[in-house]
Chain A
C-alpha cells in the first residue's frame, strides 16, 4: 500500500503535465469548435455555425482533395523507399555506419531549413535541380510553379526529409530476423528479392503496418512544406487541410472555425486508424 502511494506520488507530476498540456487543450479545442471567440471577451456558443461555415467554404474540398493526393503520392514514393534502402543497407557491411549517418542526416536538419533549401533547389531560373538536369539535356522543369508538378515537388522534399527515421527502424527490424531463415532460403536457391519477399517482409509485417499507419497520419497532417514553399499555390494546387486551419486561425482570426476543422480532421484520422487496424488485424498477428 505504501509502495503504491509512493508510485502514485511519483506519477502525479507527469499526469498533471500530460493532463494540463495535452488533454486539457484537446477538451478546450472541442469546446472552441462550438464557440465564437476573440480570446478576450467571453466566448459565445454558436452551435454548429462553425461547421456550417467550413462546409460552405469551397476551398475546403480543394484542401481535402489536395491532402489526400499528397498522402497518396507520399505513400507511392515515400513508403517503399525506406524499406528498399534498409534491405539494401542490411547487405552492406563496409562503411555501414557512414551510410546510416548519411541516410539519417536530413532528419537532423530543422524541417524549415530543409524545406527552404529545397525551395532554392527548385528555383526554375537558378535552382540546382534545373541546372543539373540541364547538363544532361533535360528540362527546365517548372517544379513548384505549375499546378501539375507542385504537389509532386512537395512530396519529393518530404520523402527526402523523412525517410531516414523509417529506414533505421526497418534496418533495426531486419537485424532481428533469424539468419538461419536466410541460410535455408539460400540453400534452396532463393535470390535476394525472393528472400526479401518470402522472409524479410513477412517477418517485418508488424513494423511495416505500424509505419504505414504513422505515415498516413503524418502525411494527412502535412503543413510545413506547403506553408514554406508555396503558401498553397499555385492556384490553390497545394493548399492542405492544415494550411487552411492555419489561415482560419491566424490570418482570419476565426478560432472557432479553425477548431471545428481541427476536430473534423481528428475525427477523420481516428476513423481511418480504426478502419486500418480492423482491416489489418489478421496480418498484424505475429
Chain B
C-alpha cells in the first residue's frame, strides 16, 4: 500500500494551489468597448461530432443576434471536486449546468450569482412554471438559476418491456401501485433470469430514491416545527417504503444480491437485459440506449407507482452563473441560458430549428416527455412544431406521460437535502443487506444525525 496517494488530499491541495496560481488569470473579462466574453458549459465532446457542430452553430447564431457577446463553448461537465478550485482561481465557466440536487448548496455557499434582475426582464418569465424554479431560489425568493425544461422530469418507473412480456405481464399496462411493482418484480424473477426490481444505494441515491418513495405514499422528509424544519422520515410512509424493499429483497428474492449499486451500475445492467424495473426519469433513455447499447424498443417508462401520495419528485438540470462573473457577464450569461435552453420551449420557430438539429444527434432526444415549463397552449404549439423530428418510440413513454400528468410534483427536502440523503443511504443499504434490519431503529438513528445537521443549517 506504499505510495498510495489520496485523491481527497490531492483535491484539497489542488484547490489551494489553484487558488493562488490562477488568481488573475480570468479569461472572462469584460472590455472597455462593452464587449464581454462568457464561457458556457454544455458543449458536447468530440465523441459526439453532430452534437458539437450543432452547439457551435447555436453559438454562432447567438453571437449574430448579440454582437457584443462572445461565447466560448466548454465541454467540461459539472464536477464538484474541481468547481470550487476553478472558482477561486477565476477559471470556472461562466454558465455552469448542475443537477437539481446542487443549487441549494451552491446558493448557501454563495458560489453562484443572484440573477433575479436579469431574469425578471425576460417577458415570458411570468408564464414559466414556478414549480421548476422553486429549487433555484433562496428564502427571500431571489433567483440563482434557471431549470432547463428539456431536462425537467418527474421521477418515474423505467421498465424492460421484453422482460414484462417474457414474464406474462402486459408491457402496455405497467404497475401503477407499489404492490403492483412487487408482484411484477416477483413474476419477472420467477419466470426469467433477470432481477425483478433494482435499487441504487450509494452516492446519496439511496436517500434520494427513498424521498420519491415517501412522496408517493403521502409522506415528507422534513416538516416544519416551531419555525424550523425537522426530520419527518421516521413516519409511516417512509417505513412502509423500506418494508416493501425489504420484503422484495428477502421474502420474494426479486432484487438480486448486489445492493451497493450506483445509478450507472443499474442503467448498465438494465441495458444488458438483467433488470426488470427501477426508478429514474425518461432521460435514462440516453445512457441505456445510446451509451450502454440497450434496445430502444424494450425500454418503457411509466409514472412513479403510488400508494396514496399522488405525488412524485422533480429532477432536472439547472443552468447557473458562477459567482465571480461581473454584472455585464452575468447579463450576457442569462441571455445565453434563455436563448439556448428556454426559448425552444416557448417559441415554435426556435423549437422546430432545435428539433431538426437534435434529431441528427444520437445523444439528443426529440419528443421525450418532460415536465411542462409553459402553459398548455404554448406547449401544444411547440409539440406541433417538433413532431416531424421525433426520434424515439414515443408510445413507450405513454404510460409516463399519462400517469405523471395527474401527480403532484414535489421538490427535494428544503433544508440540507444532501445531508438527509447521506444519512439515509446506510438505512437503505441495511434494509437491503440485512434480513433482520430494524427499520424503526435505523430511521431513528438517521433522524438523530439529520436533526443536528438541520439545526446547524437553519
Contact = CB atoms under 8 A, between A and B. Distances in A.
A233 B16 contact: no
B145 to A, nearest CB: 16
A129 to B, nearest CB: 13
B74 interface: no
Interface in A224-261: 224, 227, 229-231, 233-236, 242-243, 245-247, 249-253, 255, 258-259
Contact of B111 (A38, A59, A162, A229): A38
A249 B11 contact: yes
Contacts of A158: 1
A40 B426 contact: no
A24 B8 contact: no
Interface in A113-161: 123-125, 140, 142, 144-147, 158
Contacts of B106: 253
Nearest to B82: A250
Q: Which of A25, A59, A124, A221 has the most CB of B within 10 A?
A: A25
Contact of B15 (A58, A222, A255): A255
B84 A24 contact: no
B7 A224 contact: yes
Contacts of B7: 223-224, 227, 246
Interface stretch (A2-10, A90-98, A174-182, A211-219): A211-219
Interface residues of B, number: 51
Contact of B433 (A123, A234, A245, A252): A234
Per DSSP, chain A at the interface is: helix
B114 to A, nearest CB: 13
Interface in B376-433: 418-419, 422, 425-426, 429-430, 433
19 contacts: A24-B17, A28-B20, A29-B12, A32-B16, A39-B15, A39-B84, A39-B88, A111-B4, A144-B260, A145-B433, A162-B4, A221-B6, A224-B4, A235-B430, A235-B433, A246-B7, A249-B15, A253-B80, A255-B12
Interface of B: 1-4, 6-9, 11-13, 15-17, 19-20, 80-81, 84-85, 87-88, 105-106, 109-111, 195, 201-204, 256-260, 262, 323-324, 418-419, 422, 425-426, 429-430, 433-434, 449, 452
Interface of A: 20-21, 24-25, 28-29, 32, 38-41, 56, 58-59, 74, 78, 111, 123-125, 140, 142, 144-147, 158, 162, 165-166, 211, 214-215, 218-219, 221-224, 227, 229-231, 233-236, 242-243, 245-247, 249-253, 255, 258-259, 262
